Amino acid sequence: MAMSAQAQPNIALIKYWGKRDIVQNLPAVSSLSVTLASLHTRMTVELDDALPDDMLTVNGAAEQVMLTRVTRCLDEVCGSGRARARVASTSNFPIGAGLASSASAFAALVVAADGASGGKRSVAELARIAGHASGSAARSVLGGFVALAAGDRDIAVRELLPLADWPLTVIVAITQTGPKAIGSGSAMIRSAESSPFYSSWVARQDADMACALAAVEERDFAKLAAVAEHNCLKMHSVMWTSRPPIVYWNDATLNCMETIRTLQAAGTGVFFTIDAGPQVKAVCLPGDAAAVRSALADTPGVLRLMESGLGPGARLLSA
């Protein structure tokens, strides 16, 4: 039986960086994200008793590097005695480049696999399984503003607002294509083992999370902007002070940040956030999106822009 699902990447405003349990892939800190609408990964899972092994293609090409993680995830959704699977993944945005492609991929995978095996699992269970494969994937199972709590025994996520309650626009400035030099999972482990700032990062996260949750509840854009930028810069400071240092930024990343600072000084409703990669995400009020888009398009080093509103969680696609 074959089933297809779609999930969107999410952009973390309060960052997930670090693991409290490497084997189960449990986050060391809580996080807050927004799920995007325009960017997506579509995943088809076909269970076939005649297949000797699982097979994976990504954007039409055979993929072996991710196959072990995909197999482990399929076993958790469908059971270890399942039929082998033919899995096909396609994305409409760059993968492995700091745009949460693994989040959308594994969120789509668990929903498609559950559908192919009979649709027995709850949304909470699917989020937990997705998070075991990729920590941020748990958030892409849900839509809009999503909180992931680190204090629970296992991964737990909740949707904070209905999509229509606080519409925001996210403009992504692509400053580099191609995969990043080090994956997020390995980079987190390096930071935890070697950065002198890591323990402080973990200790202060609850305060940032509480501030951001209050900002979302109050629809206070200025408060959310201040804590999100501060949290982003703290995370990258942990990366930079790891040994060896982890530096994802390039010249264009810095140029985009300067553009956003100039817009803010002029009263534009916008702030930046940057995940584990060189791409800059400008989160803005919908009425200011045109000004932000124009300014970023003129910023040196920006290769292209992608624009999105806030979107839904992972779901099955009709045949």
User: Per residue in 220-274, pLDDT tens?
Assistant: 999 999 999 999 999 999 999 999 999 999 999 999 999 999 999 999 999 999 9
* Cα 242 to Cα 5: distance, rounded to the nearest angstrom: 37
pLDDT of 112 strictly over 90:
yes
Q: What is the pLDDT of residue 135?
A: 87
Q: Which one, of 28, 251, 51, 224, lies nearest residue 145 by Cα? A: 224
Q: What is the pLDDT of residue 150?
A: 85
Q: What is the mean pLDDT of the segment spanning 147-155?
A: 84
Among 76-90, 142-156, 222-236, 238-252, the range scoring the smallest mean pLDDT is: 142-156
pLDDT category at 152 given cuts 50, 70, 90 is low
Range from 17-21, 98-102, 279-283 that averages highest in pLDDT: 279-283
pLDDT of 153 strictly over 80:
no
pLDDT category at 307 given cuts 50, 70, 90 is very high
Q: What is the pLDDT of residue 178?
A: 80
For tokens 């293609």, name the residue.
Answer: 57
Per-chain mean pLDDT for the chain: 94
Q: What is the mean pLDDT of the segment spanning 177-202?
A: 93
pLDDT category at 98 given cuts 50, 70, 90 is low
Residue 249 has φ and ψ, to the nearest 5°, of -70, 160
Q: What are the CA-CA distances from residue 41 to residues 44, 102, 161, 225 (Å)?
A: 10, 9, 23, 28
Q: What is the mean pLDDT of the segment spanning 56-82?
A: 94
Q: Who's near 299: CB < 8 A, 6+ residues apart?
A: 173, 252, 255, 256, 259
Q: What is the mean pLDDT of the segment spanning 272-294?
A: 97
Max Cα-Cα span within the chain: 63
- Looking at the DSSP bridge assignments, the partners of residue 87 are 45, 56
For β-strands 2-7 and 10-14, DSSP reports them as unpaired
Give percent of the chain above pLDDT 90: 85
Alpha helices in the chain (DSSP H): 67-78, 101-116, 123-133, 137-140, 184-194, 198-218, 221-240, 251-265, 289-297
Q: What is the pLDDT of residue 119?
A: 86
- Looking at the DSSP bridge assignments, the partners of residue 35 are 10
Q: What is the mean pLDDT of the segment spanning 285-312?
A: 97
More confident residue, 286 or 26: 286
Q: What is the pLDDT of residue 146?
A: 97
- Residues present in the chain in total: 319
* Cα 166 to Cα 143: distance, rounded to the nearest angstrom: 12
Q: What is the mean pLDDT of the segment spanning 191-199?
A: 98
pLDDT of 100 strictly over 80:
no
pLDDT of 319 strictly over 60:
no
Q: What is the pLDDT of residue 304?
A: 94
* Cα 187 to Cα 196: distance, rounded to the nearest angstrom: 15
